[in-house]
Structure 1
Amino acid sequence: MRILITGGSGFLGRALSGALLRQGAAPTWLSREPRTVVAPAGVEVRGYDGLHASDCFDVVVNLAGAGIADGRWSDARKQVLFDSRLEPTRSVVDWIRRARTRPRLLLSGSAVGWYGRQPADRELVEDSAPHPEFVHALCAHWERAALEAVTLDVPVVLLRTGVVLDPTGGMLRRLLPVFRLGAGGRLGSGEQVLSWISREDWVRAVLELLDQQTGRPALAGPVNLTAPAPVSNHEFTRILARAVRRPAWATVPAGVLRLALGEMSTLLLDGQRVLPRRLLDTGFEFRHPRLDALLRPGFARQQA
């Protein structure tokens, strides 16, 4: 299977590429700066101007996008977040339009931020209504750009991804040093809900969605990539502190976070209880359905 990946050098793209290589697939990465990218053996790296109508890929996985928590949300930063998602997506769809042989499937990144801030007790599935705000608008524009491929008879799966947990990167890599020092703690009220998924299960779910194109009916549209048991911030703090065998008694007041982070504080103080209804309907079985089973004592040390 020939697979084209944007954002292949990122936290999720590298893990997915490694799994594909182990299965014998040969991923090709698209990058804005292909000469500076260090890719695993067996992965070809191209610039966006290196895509031609004669190229043939079975599947496109579109993951490109600047980290949403990597900087305070100034107007300039918001534009970077939009451009880093929309420009690669539009480039991929433009190539699909020109391609002599079109791919069978486009899997395109999105996030549970599509739902916006929601009450902690509200369960959200793929057809739930969003709360309009910046993170929703960002995801909605990203999804809309990808869905242009549907007009070209290419099915699109929208990967509405929760917070991906793995000690080698992402949120856990930032939090583990803090919690190991015993400085971890609850954020605000602690009632906000975290919809999470282990990186292993994220990769397995994407591979499952790819496999569906080889025999079973195609699954298209939004798919929530989250574990079936979301947790509150209070629960997350308790479980992670136990995993590193340190106390976590601190509390960071909501006002302090709003003052320090501005609008971006919504990522820490608000949340969504997102459930993977469509993924479970396919028969997908999570290896890490519960956070306390994933973050066992000694977890970070064993996984490092």
Structure 2
Amino acid sequence: MNILITGGTGLIGRSFIKKYQYQHHFTVLSRQIHPKVFGSQIQAKDQQDEKGITLIRHLEGYQNLDAFDAVINLQGESLADKRWSEKQKQVLCQSRWQITGHLSQLINQSTSPPAVFLSGSAIGYYGRQQTLAINEDFRDCYPEFSHDLCRTWEEKARLSQENTRVCLLRTGIVLSQAGGALAKMLTPFAFGLGGPIADGHQFMSWIHIDDYCQALNELLQQENISGAINLTAPTPVSNREFSQVLASLLHRPCFMPMPGPVLKLLIGEMADLLIHGQHVVPKKLLDAGFTFSYPTLKQALTQLLAR
């Protein structure tokens, strides 16, 4: 397939392109293009490298997306890089909303639009929840910033649904040693300083990076799946259990809890992502027959830590 992918140099984009670079052709839109990010020397921007990856910095030259079979939209400012001031919240929102709205507009202007639009979202759509298992049909979302951000993000993607199949990627915690949450946790846990956050009862809905990439590839081709899709493993765990499994595999103790008020003092409102959780299950993927290579946390972490 000829695929336009935004945010292609992020954790998920890099992993997906590396895994499927010989199966698909990618046109990668990224605000930052590093010379060796795809494992090959790229001497110039806006041209094709030797692996068949076309790199672009903007979409101004496109009046439509007739040239593409699919669009994968992963672009957005990192939620964890800066404290959530009101200014930073606007950056988080606009970095997602603007590109998504623009892509929908280009799809709608296409004579032969892409067959599928996979657009980023997050399980933050549901807002903070208790331990009740929730799937894509859940409607009682908690009204907070993460929900508002994801709701509008999804609305921007749905603007193109009359012309293409739209899949909204409600992403959980993606586990990878190449970056993301696990990479940030490894150092304190390796020094025996890891432990649960707050009371540790909040659920963490996670997914192994390889399963995420495989799910994306299947969503490109499974024509009967659309709408919101939870990209999480089928066995979410509590924060306490996650901490205990990680510490055990590293042969380290797990006795250094991080009190919720202290975390809020350190990082502000962003702490809500860690203090409150959601017990999210991937009903649509399971109903479609998707097979997870790493359905349990121990399997996932064992494989990642062995790399």
* TM category, shorter: over 0.9
2:139 corresponds to 1:135: no
Alignment of 1:1-304 (within 5 A): 1-23=1-23, 25-32=24-31, 38-39=37-38, 41-46=51-56, 47-53=58-64, 55-120=66-131, 122-129=132-139, 130-151=141-162, 153-213=163-223, 218-296=224-302, 299-303=303-307
| Cα offset, 1:105, TM superposition | 0.7
Q: Percent identity?
A: 43
Tell me how far apart the structure 1 counterparts of residues 194 and 34 of structure 2 sit (CA, whole Å).
39
Q: CA deviation at 1:300?
A: 4.8
Which amino acid counterpart does residue 92 of structure 1 have in structure 2?
Answer: L
> How far has the Cα of 1:293 moved from its partner?
1.8
Q: Which amino acid aligns with 2:170?
A: R
Counterparts of 1:10 and 1:75, CA distance in 2:
24
The unaligned stretches of length 5 or more in structure 2 are: 41-50
Which secondary structure does the structure 2 equivalent of 1:149 belong to? coil
- AA paired with 2:287? D
Amino acid at match of 1:261: I
Contact 1:32–1:48 at 8 Å: present in 2 too?
no
| TM-superposed deviation, 1:36 | 7.4
Would the aligned equivalents of 2:193 and 2:256 in 1 still touch at CA under 8 Å? Answer: yes
In 2 relative to 1, CA 33–55 (structure 1 residues): closer, same or farther, beyond 3 Å?
farther
> In angstroms, what is the RMSD of aligned CA positions?
1.6
How many Å separate the matches in 1 of 2:125 and 2:149?
A: 8
1:108 Cα offset (Å): 0.4
Greater displacement, 29-38 / 63-72: 29-38
- Cα deviation 1:92-139 (Å, max 9, x = unaligned): 11211222321111010000000000012x111001021111000000
Deviation at 1:22, TM superposition (A): 3.3
Normalised by the size of structure 2, how large is the TM-score?
A: 0.91
Tell me, in whole angstroms, the C-alpha distance in 2 between the residues paired with 1:201 and 1:35: 26
Aligned-pair CA distance for 1:233: 0.6
Whole-angstrom distance in 2 between the partners of 1:54 and 1:198: 31
The answer on whether the counterparts of 1:188 and 1:254 sit within 8 Å (CA) in structure 2 is yes
User: Match for residue 48 of structure 2?
Assistant: none
The Cα shift of 1:186 comes to: 1.2
The offset of 1:42, in angstroms, is: 2.0
**Contact 1:110–1:143 under 8 Å retained in 2:** yes
Q: CA deviation at 1:252?
A: 1.1
Following the alignment from structure 1 to structure 2, what is the Cα–Cα distance between the partners of residues 293 and 100? 46
